[in-house]
Structure 1
Amino acid sequence: MTVSASTEALAVDARGPDNDKAAKAATEPRASVSIGAVAMRLFAMMRKRRWLLLLSILCGTLAALLSLAPYAAAAAALAAILDGGVDWQWIGLVGGLALGAVAARHLFFSLATGLSHRIAFQTQQELRLALAAKLARVPLGFFDDRSKGELRTILLDDVEGVEDGMAHLVPELSAAIVAPVLALALLAAIDWRLTLLALLPIALGLVLIGRVMKQGEGPTHDYLAIQSRMAETVAEMADGLPTVRAFNQDEQATARTQRIFAEMTRFSDAWMHHAVVPGSAAQVLLSSHLLFAAPAGLLMAAQGWLGPATLAAFLAIAYGLGDVFTSLQGISHRLMRQVQLLDRIDAVLAAPELPVSAAPGEPADRLLRFKNVSFSYGARQVLHGVDFTVAPGRCLALVGPSGSGKSTLARLIARFHDVGSGAVSIGGVDIRELAPDALNRAVSFVFQEVFLFAGTIADNIRLGRPDADGDAVIDAARRARAHDFIAALPQGYDTIVGERGLGLSGGERQRISIARAILKDSPILVLDEATAFADPENEALIQDAIEDLARERTLIVIAHRLHTIVHADEILVLDAGRVAERGSHAALVEQGGLYARMFAAHEAVAHHRHADGRRDEQAARPALAAEARP
Structure 2
Amino acid sequence: MSSYIGISKDPSAIEGNTPTGSNNTEAGSSFDKIERNGTPLSVPAVARRILALMTGGQLLLAGSAAAGTLAALLALAPYLAAALAFVELTSSSPDRDRLLLIGLAGVAGLIGCHAFFGLSTALSHLIAFRVQRDLRLRLAAKLARVPLGWFDDTAKGRVRSILLDDVEATEDGIAHLIPETSAALLAPLLVLVALVVVDWRLTVLTLVPMVVGMWLLGRLLKTGEGPTRDYIEIQARLAETTAEIADGLATVRLFDQAEQASRRAFDMFALMTRFSNDWMRGAVVPGGLAQILLSSHLLVVASVGLLMAAAGDVSTATLAVFLALALGLGDIFGAIQGISHRVMRQVQHLDNIDSILCLPEMPESASKGAIGPAAVELDTVGFAYGARAVLDCISVRVEPGRSLALVGPSGSGKSTLVRLIARFLDAQSGAVRIGGVDVRDMSAEDLHARLAVVFQDVFLFAGTIADNIRLGRAGASDADIVAAAKAARAHDFIAALPNGYDTLVGERGHGLSGGERQRISIARAILKDAPILILDEATAFADPENEAEIQTAIAELARGRTMIVIAHRLHTITHVDEILVLDQGRIAERGRHDDLVADGGLYARMWAAHQAVRSYRHASRGN
Report the alpha carbon displacement of residue 268 of structure 1 after superposing the two structures with TM. 4.5
1:353-372 to structure 2, matched below 5 A, reads 353-357=361-365, 360-372=368-380
Give 1:126's match in structure 2, choosing from 134, 151, 157: 134
Preserved CA contact (<8 Å) 1:7 1:218: no
In 2: Cα distance, 1:337 partner to 1:419 partner: 39
In 2: Cα distance, 1:87 partner to 1:231 partner: 65
Query: Between the two proteins, what is the percent identity of the paired residues?
Result: 59
Q: Is 2:583 the counterpart of 1:582?
A: no
Report the alpha carbon displacement of residue 343 of structure 1 after superposing the two structures with TM. 0.8
Cα 1:98/1:44, change in 2 over 3 Å: farther
Give 1:459's match in structure 2, choosing from 464, 467, 470: 467
Q: Is 2:553 the counterpart of 1:564?
A: no
Cα 1:9/1:95, change in 2 over 3 Å: farther
Report the alpha carbon displacement of residue 610 of structure 1 after superposing the two structures with TM. 2.9
Per-residue CA deviations over 1:292-330 (Å, capped at 9, x if unaligned) read 434443454455443443333222211331335642321
Cα 1:545/1:45, change in 2 over 3 Å: same
Give 1:440's match in structure 2, choosing from 417, 441, 448: 448
SS at match of 1:369: strand
Preserved CA contact (<8 Å) 1:5 1:32: no
Per-residue CA deviations over 1:207-253 (Å, capped at 9, x if unaligned) read 34333433444444344434444554454445444445555655555
Which shifted more, 518-527 or 18-27? 18-27
Match of 1:619 in 2: none
Cα 1:20/1:136, change in 2 over 3 Å: farther
Match of 1:72 in 2: 80
In 2: Cα distance, 1:19 partner to 1:415 partner: 37
In 1: Cα distance, 2:7 partner to 2:297 partner: 31
Preserved CA contact (<8 Å) 1:414 1:443: yes
Supply the AA of the counterpart residue of 2:409. P
SS at match of 1:123: helix
1:8-157 to structure 2, matched below 5 A, reads 8=9, 16=24, 18-19=26-27, 22-28=30-36, 30-46=38-54, 48-80=56-88, 84-157=92-165
Preserved CA contact (<8 Å) 1:373 1:419: yes
Match of 2:617 in 1: 609
Supply the AA of the counterpart residue of 1:568. V
SS at match of 2:507: coil
Q: Is 2:360 the counterpart of 1:343?
A: no
Report the alpha carbon displacement of residue 551 of structure 1 after superposing the two structures with TM. 1.2
Supply the AA of the counterpart residue of 1:32. P
Match of 1:162 in 2: 170
Report the alpha carbon displacement of residue 284 of structure 1 after superposing the two structures with TM. 2.7
Which shifted more, 469-478 or 56-65? 56-65
Report the alpha carbon displacement of residue 359 of structure 1 after superposing the two structures with TM. 6.0
Give 2:548's match in structure 1, choosing from 524, 540, 554: 540
Cα 1:18/1:136, change in 2 over 3 Å: farther
In 2: Cα distance, 1:5 partner to 1:307 partner: 45
Give 2:494's match in structure 1, choosing from 472, 486, 493: 486
Preserved CA contact (<8 Å) 1:78 1:313: no
Report the alpha carbon displacement of residue 82 of structure 1 after superposing the two structures with TM. 5.8
1:379-528 to structure 2, matched below 5 A, reads 379-528=387-536
**Which sections of structure 2, spanning at least 5 residues, go unmatched?**
none
Per-residue CA deviations over 1:134-182 (Å, capped at 9, x if unaligned) read 1111111111121122112211111121111122223312211221111
Per-residue CA deviations over 1:467-500 (Å, capped at 9, x if unaligned) read 1110111111111111111111111111111124
In 2: Cα distance, 1:144 partner to 1:20 partner: 26
Cα 1:451/1:427, change in 2 over 3 Å: same
Supply the AA of the counterpart residue of 2:616. H
Preserved CA contact (<8 Å) 1:149 1:228: no
Q: Is 2:175 the counterpart of 1:181?
A: no
C-alpha RMSD of the superposition: 2.8
> Which structure 1 residue ranges, 4+ long, deviate > 6 Å from structure 2?
2-7
Cα 1:442/1:18, change in 2 over 3 Å: farther
Per-residue CA deviations over 1:95-145 (Å, capped at 9, x if unaligned) read 221122112101211221122222212221221121111111111111112
SS at match of 1:26: coil
Report the alpha carbon displacement of residue 201 of structure 1 after superposing the two structures with TM. 2.1
Supply the AA of the counterpart residue of 1:175. A
Preserved CA contact (<8 Å) 1:150 1:231: no
Cα 1:418/1:211, change in 2 over 3 Å: farther
Give 2:323's match in structure 1, choosing from 297, 315, 325: 315
Which shifted more, 345-354 or 201-210? 201-210
**Which sections of structure 1, spanning at least 5 residues, go unmatched?**
617-630
Report the alpha carbon displacement of residue 350 of structure 1 after superposing the two structures with TM. 0.9
Q: Is 2:273 the counterpart of 1:282?
A: no
Report the alpha carbon displacement of residue 536 of structure 1 after superposing the two structures with TM. 0.9
TM-score by length of 2: 0.91
Preserved CA contact (<8 Å) 1:46 1:53: no
SS at match of 1:48: coil
Which shifted more, 318-327 or 168-177? 318-327
Report the alpha carbon displacement of residue 409 of structure 1 after superposing the two structures with TM. 0.9
In 2: Cα distance, 1:345 partner to 1:327 partner: 27
Supply the AA of the counterpart residue of 1:533. F
Cα 1:489/1:243, change in 2 over 3 Å: farther
Give 1:297's match in structure 2, choosing from 279, 301, 305: 305
In 1: Cα distance, 2:64 partner to 2:462 partner: 40
In 2: Cα distance, 1:612 partner to 1:359 partner: 54
Per-residue CA deviations over 1:542-587 (Å, capped at 9, x if unaligned) read 1111111111111111111111111111111111111111111122
Supply the AA of the counterpart residue of 1:590. A
Report the alpha carbon displacement of residue 522 of structure 1 after superposing the two structures with TM. 1.5
Preserved CA contact (<8 Å) 2:6 2:279: no
Which shifted more, 78-87 or 34-43? 78-87
Give 2:200's match in structure 1, choosing from 192, 198, 216: 192
Which shifted more, 276-285 or 542-551? 276-285
Cα 1:271/1:530, change in 2 over 3 Å: farther
Supply the AA of the counterpart residue of 2:108. G
TM-score by length of 1: 0.90
In 1: Cα distance, 2:262 partner to 2:525 partner: 40
Supply the AA of the counterpart residue of 1:593. G
Which shifted more, 275-284 or 485-494? 275-284
In 2: Cα distance, 1:3 partner to 1:419 partner: 49
